[in-house]
Amino acid sequence: MPDRKPPEDDLSSLRRRVDAARGTDASKSQPAPSAASLSLRIGGEFGAAIIVGALLGYGVDYFLHTGGWGLGIGFGLGFVTGVFNVVRAVRAYNDANPPNPNAPSIPDDDD
């Protein structure tokens, strides 16, 4: 039977070589997400919250025979949840990518 190193040694060796090739700063500095990816994330979270709220409301209507009230309330709660998700996503983006304080200001209509 040939002597072989355990697979853990090969894996740790590979990790060391990959880390050395990437450098120390490569893993810490990630580029800002594009506008398209941010808009898809925001739209997807908003739409998913509305759909989930409406489906839960429909389920309440189906089992409790409430005549549409569950769907309306579920849709409303899904909308509110979607707005909160959008605010959270935009706030996280703004915290990760603060504006440049040295950027030139945009003139107002009054100027």
Mean pLDDT of 69-89: 96
Q: Tell me the per-residue pLDDT of 46-61, one tens digit each, with 9 for 90 and over.
A: 999 999 999 999 999 9
Can you spell out the DSSP letters for 18-73?
Answer: HHHHH-SSTTT--PPPPHHHHHHHHHHHHHHHHHHHHHHHHHHHHHH--TTHHHHH
- What is residue 102's predicted lDDT score, i.e. its pLDDT? 85
Residues 25/29/31/32 CA torsion (nearest 10 deg): -170
Tell me, what DSSP letter sits at residue 89?
H
Compare 33 and 93 and report the one with higher pLDDT.
Answer: 93
pLDDT single digits (tens) 1-48: 566 666 667 778 888 888 888 775 545 566 777 888 889 999 999 999
**What are the φ and ψ backbone dihedral angles of 54, each rounded to 5 degrees?**
-65, -40
